Amino acid sequence: MRVTAMRNVIAIAAVALLVAFPLAARHWQQLFYVSFASRILIYALAASSLNLILGYGGMVSFGHAAFLGTGAYTVAMLMAQGLSSAWASWPLAVVVSALFALVIGAVSLRTRGVYFIMITLAFAQMIYYVFVSLRSYGGEDGLNLTARSGLGFGLDLASDITFYYVVLAMVVACLYLMQRLLDARFGQVIQGIRDNEMRMEALGFATYRYKLICFSLAGGAAGLAGALLANQNGFVSPNLLQWTQSGTLMVMVILGGVGYVYGGVLGAGVFLVLEEVLSAYTEHWQLALGLALLAIVLYARGGIAGLLSRPTRGGEPGG
Amino acid sequence: MTATDHVDLSVQSGEFHGLIGPNGAGKTTLIHQLSGALPTDSGKILFDGHDITRASLHQRVHLGMARSYQITSVFADVTVVHNLALAVLARRGSSLSFWRPLAREVALFEEARTLAQQVGLRGRENTVAGELAHGEQRQLEVGLALATRARLLLLDEPMAGLGPEDSQRMVALIAGLRGAITLLLVEHDMDAVFRLADRISVLDSGRIIATGTPEAIRSNAGVKRAYLGELSA
């Protein structure tokens, strides 16, 4: 109970800081960082959705970018057709991505281990080539969004600060839902399957069904991240669905903490800040990232979240 | 490879049926096939008159047949009651609940606590399963199978690796189930099998070579040969 209370205090403090951030940025006239923070938040959502299946469901999917890209393309294509309302296109992005995940999962989840990794990768690459071949939507060159999605209520997403707050609200809501889900029956069953699938079967759980639902939910959440990312970039291209993008999401999760609620958030933050800072000095910034990843994998399996949460598992502070 | 071959085994409702046989006779393979963990190439498995040969592991549990494992297979990272609560949850149908914390499901944990006591883990309810002593883990293993409320339990060597004291406790635990369930007990501990079973079947090289009361099995010549004197004492 104490750990949960501690976790809530940290979460509330973090949200408060994130709410105050644009005000500070405006005060010091560094609005660029607001847009950068939006980007981090969007990737935090994408990485968290991967963490749901990878960290909690034990499903090592190497094709998660497919759902991110599908969500982004759904918004861009609808806008190209003249439908720009966020209220229509964002939920559709979620639904389409979740359906893609449902179909891909239905096939992939019949395999295990390295075969599962390969088959998810294969499906993602197939979707990648589908979007490359869509000439009318830009093909390989991608597609520009004419504007950001419309929200109504006098809110204009063209403002980076408004957009930031909408993204923040979405990400916080999704993470809260994920937290609820993980503590509830469904999440506990999913984690039981991760720990010992055969035993869960022997207790009477139809484990395949639970894994498939989890996979589909994660796909939907990644689709929402994609919808936001399309708005953030004002542009979509097949690169969003490249397998390297799936790799990036996986690196974020490992860096942040596989199977930790805030692993995806921390991983996305550290990854993108590292990229931003280091790429100013050298083209080879990924070398530093590689070393950081190596250190994490060798010495801190729980990633950054694992390192941070260790003290809260001990006794009373100072006693 | 054929691990079990023309096995003809019938377990009567309500009876405690022992299954013994030398190492490598195919006992665990048979349990895997009966429970649905391994496919059956030929032949039929009937349960309550229904053909369940093609039913999956989890379907068979809902039909009323559950198993335990020879190699302890509990959820090592969570507490004893959490282990049992998961098992109770499996029986209660859908777990497509995404909002209410499991920890607040009082009825579930109430039943889990009762089960913990039934398998002799009173006072250990909130211990993380991985930190239990080996004997206690074996008790939890049986508890998980019991939680399914299956009418037929397939216990795969519940005494595996237990010292004399823990074995006694396990025998008492199993004896206490008499009347409530039907049991197929695979066990290496001959004392235990002969004390618990109403009838015993002997599996050798994938075939049932004898079935009968403990007395009949004790005096069966073929069984003696299969065990090369193991039973002669």
DSSP codes joined into one string, A104-119: HHHHHTTS-HHHHHHH
Closest by Cα among A241, A208, A187, A242 to A107: A208
* Confidence category of residue A155, pLDDT binned at 50, 70, 90: confident
Asked whether residue B49 carries a pLDDT value surpassing 50, the answer given is yes
Q: What is the pLDDT of residue A310?
A: 55
Average pLDDT, integer, range A70-88? 93
Of A192, A207, A210, the CB nearest to B86: A192
Long-range contacts of B41-46 (CB under 8 A, 24+ apart): B43/B6, B43/B7
Residue B233: pLDDT band with limits 50, 70, 90: very low
Q: What would the DSSP string read from start to end of B105-134? A: -HHHHHHHHHHHHHTT-TT-TTSBGGGS-H
Between B87, B101, B103, which is nearest A203 by CB? Answer: B87
pLDDT score, position B26: 87
- Closest in A181, A199, A206 to B98, CB measured: A181
Confidence class for position A306, pLDDT limits 50, 70, 90: confident
Q: Mean per-residue pLDDT for B67-88?
A: 94
Can you count the helices (H) and strands (E) in chain B? 9, 8
CB contact under 8 A, A198 and B73: yes
Closest CA to A160 of A39, A265, A71: A39
What CATH homologous superfamily does B16-227 map to? P-loop containing nucleotide triphosphate hydrolases (3.40.50.300)
Whole-complex ipTM: 0.89
Distance from CA of B96 to the nearest CA of A (A): 5
Task: Give dist(CA B169, CA B156) in Å, integer.
Answer: 17
More confident residue, A149 or A66: A66
Alpha helices by DSSP H, A135-284: 160-183, 185-203, 207-233, 243-256, 263-278
Q: What local confidence, expressed as pLDDT, does residue B175 receive?
A: 94
Q: Which of A39, A59, A18 is nearest to A225 (CA)?
A: A39
Which stretches of chain B sit within 8 Å of chain A by CB?
35, 37, 56-58, 61-62, 66-67, 69, 73-77, 86-87, 89-91, 95-103, 105, 144-145, 147-148
B185-231 pLDDT, tens per residue?
A: 999 888 899 999 999 999 988 888 889 999 899 888 888 777 755 54
Q: Which of A183, A185, A195 sits opposite B95 (nearest CB)?
A: A185
Among A195, A201, A261, the strongest candidate for a mutation testing the B interface, having the largest count of B CBs within 10 A, is: A201
For B45: left if phi > 0, alpha if psi spans -120 to 50, otherwise beta; the answer is beta
Mutate to test the interface with A, among B98, B105, B153 (most CBs of A within 10 A): B98
Span A238-262, pLDDT tens digits: 999 999 999 999 999 999 999 998 9
* Range in A199-208, A213-222, A276-285 the model is least confident about: A276-285
Measured between CA atoms, the residue of chain A closest to residue B108 is: A185
Q: Could you give the 3-state DSSP secondary structure of residue B154?
A: strand
Lowest mean pLDDT among B39-43, B47-51, B220-224: B220-224
pLDDT band at A206, cuts 50/70/90?
A: very high
SS3 assignment, position A236: strand
Set of chain A residues whose Cβ sits within 8 Å of the Cβ of B147: 203
Q: How far is CA B52 from CA A95, A280, B29, B46, in A?
A: 38, 65, 17, 6
A202 and B37 within 8 Å at the Cβ level: the answer is yes
Residue A140's pLDDT band, with cuts at 50, 70 and 90, is: confident
Which residues of chain B are within 8 Å of residue A184 when distances are taken between CB atoms? 97-102
Maximal C-alpha separation, chain B: 62
Can you read off the two tokens belonging to residue A41?
């938040």
Distance from CA of A80 to the nearest CA of B (A): 36
| pLDDT score recorded for residue A313 | 31
Chain centroid to CA A43? 5
Distance separating alpha carbons of residues B22 and B143, to the nearest angstrom: 27
- The C-alpha angle with vertex B130 and arms to B127 and B133, in degrees rounded to 5, equals 80
Residues pairing with A144 in the sheet:
A235
CB atoms within 10 A of CB A288: 15
Interface size A-B, in CB pairs within 8 Å, comes to 90
Q: What is the pTM of this model?
A: 0.91
Q: What is the average pLDDT across B88-97? A: 86
Classify strands B207-212 and B46-47 as parallel, antiparallel or unpaired.
unpaired
Beta bridge partners of B211: B201
Are residues B86 and A204, on separate chains, in Cβ contact within 8 Å? no
Q: What number of CA atoms fall less than 13 Å from residue B184's CA on the CB side?
A: 28
Integer CA distances (angstroms), A81 to A67, A75, A86, in order: 21, 10, 14
Min Cα separation B215/chain A (Å): 34
Q: How far is CA B43 from CA A55, B54, B210, in A?
A: 41, 11, 19
Task: Report whether A59 contacts A111 (CB < 8 A).
Answer: no
